[in-house]
Structure 1
């Protein structure tokens, strides 16, 4: 059985740095389009920086973009995103920036202009209507959280 792909969502994009490529999917089936930095940056162990990407987007109502880390940077360099995933709301029109942190305890990390630093995932989002109640209905999990279901030897 073959699943037909959904048509892509049209995203308006403003290139703030004409020399860098637009976000792109590296492979067919990728969920995230690569974001690149417009600047060079050096981060010592424990340091963080806000890196500009040189793009601004206009998302359709009912969509949001989420800035996710790149697994290769995390595995090889200890680079993480401070607020992962970062949320780009449909109404935001400013430059997308990525807050990176060097979690390696010993080695610094260098970013060069044009390096792929994160990935942008576009998703449809639901609007919720909140209803205040005195009690919530019960569930099998109840108030168990923060590792209450096990799955690790330390739990």
Structure 2
């Protein structure tokens, strides 16, 4: 698949977009295309940050997801305000990153600078199943409706 990318922010060329963190990285780094340093205070509302790009995904069975960069989420507390951003193949607008400081109020603010790599984008195929509406499932030998933790935690459970 050949992906068409419209560069909205010309600074991306100097920042090295598109760039993968390694030869086996699944996600391409997304940069904070903001005019000035942005302060994300702990627990404050999420802020929308432009990635500086728009996409034309030519395959209607492929979508993009914007996900956090693991290191920033773990060590700094920078997460996505909506957990994960979905870019449908028919969306042609700017790809935005919803950033949020999940830290408690006694922790410091997170400062996002222009050009910081703050998220990553991954491309995945998806299925659109046909729906069969039923009143009951067929009997089976599976787990049924037992929920979280029902399969145990020990190696013998």
The TM-score normalised by the length of structure 1 is: 0.86
Stretch deviating more after TM superposition (100-109 or 141-150): 141-150
Query: Which aligned pairs between 1:1-155 and structure 2 lie closer than 5 A?
Result: 9-21=1-13, 22-39=17-34, 40-47=37-44, 48-59=46-57, 60-105=59-104, 106-137=107-138, 138=140, 140-151=142-153
Gaps of 5+ in 1: 1-8
How far has the Cα of 1:139 moved from its partner? 5.2
What is the distance in 2 between the residues matched to 1:58 and 1:114?
Answer: 23
What is the distance in 2 between the residues matched to 1:139 and 1:125?
Answer: 28
Tell me the SS of whatever aligns to 1:96.
Answer: strand
Stretch deviating more after TM superposition (40-49 or 136-145): 136-145
How far has the Cα of 1:97 moved from its partner? 0.5
Q: How many residues align?
A: 144
What is the distance in 1 between the residues matched to 2:98 and 2:153?
Answer: 31
Moved over 4 A (4+): none
Gaps of 5+ in 2: none
How far has the Cα of 1:124 moved from its partner? 1.3
